[in-house]
Amino acid sequence: MKPLTTIVTMLVLAAATACQGPGTGAAKTTSEDTMQPITLTVTEAARITAGYVSLVSGQEVDPSPDGVEKVGCRTNKESLMSEGPPWKVRRQWWVDHPPRELISGAMSRLESLAAQGFERQPWTRPDPEPLDTKTYHDARGYVVGARAYTTAGGRELFEVTVMSPCANEG
């Protein structure tokens, strides 16, 4: 009788697995399926990122898309490298041996983004948060950060980095 019970159990399991039961046949989605339509263009994202870099750094920044880094919003499944379009527009400004006044002014201007709807990103690393490192983000997907640091070679730097949400060519 044991072989018959085993065969019946296997048939029931096979049928249940094949049928998946009611309501379990939901279509599989990918991140591309769930993305909202993108209306932002690289040109517009370049202009906006330049504005945020200018605001925080206190320096004029060329708003043209020629001086930006484009980071792909998709990941190539074979190489695991980012690719686009669409693209995130990344713009960076930095200065060697920054005077303390420049850092203080830039950090104050960075904090002023809270009045424009930006929220401070919490520090999640286990080590203590450096004094002059802050990052903010807004609901649209823009990320604005600034940090002062010393390289392993002893070089003191201050940088402002802005990243846009995904944008189409144009």
Task: Assess contact for 149 and 21: CB atoms under 8 A.
Answer: no
Helix, strand or coil for residue 147? Answer: strand
- At residue 38, the pLDDT reads 82
pLDDT in 10s for each residue of the chain, 170 residues: 554 444 444 444 444 434 433 333 433 445 554 457 788 999 999 999 999 999 999 999 989 888 899 999 988 888 898 887 999 999 999 999 999 999 999 999 999 999 999 999 998 999 998 889 999 999 999 999 999 999 999 999 999 999 999 999 87
Write the CB contacts of 46 (distance below 8 Å, at least 6 apart in sequence): 63, 64, 65, 67, 68, 89, 91
Beta-bridge mates of residue 89: 70
Q: Could you tell me which CATH class the domain 40-122+129-165 is placed in? A: alpha beta
Amino acid 50: pLDDT:
96
The pTM (predicted TM-score) of the whole model is 0.74
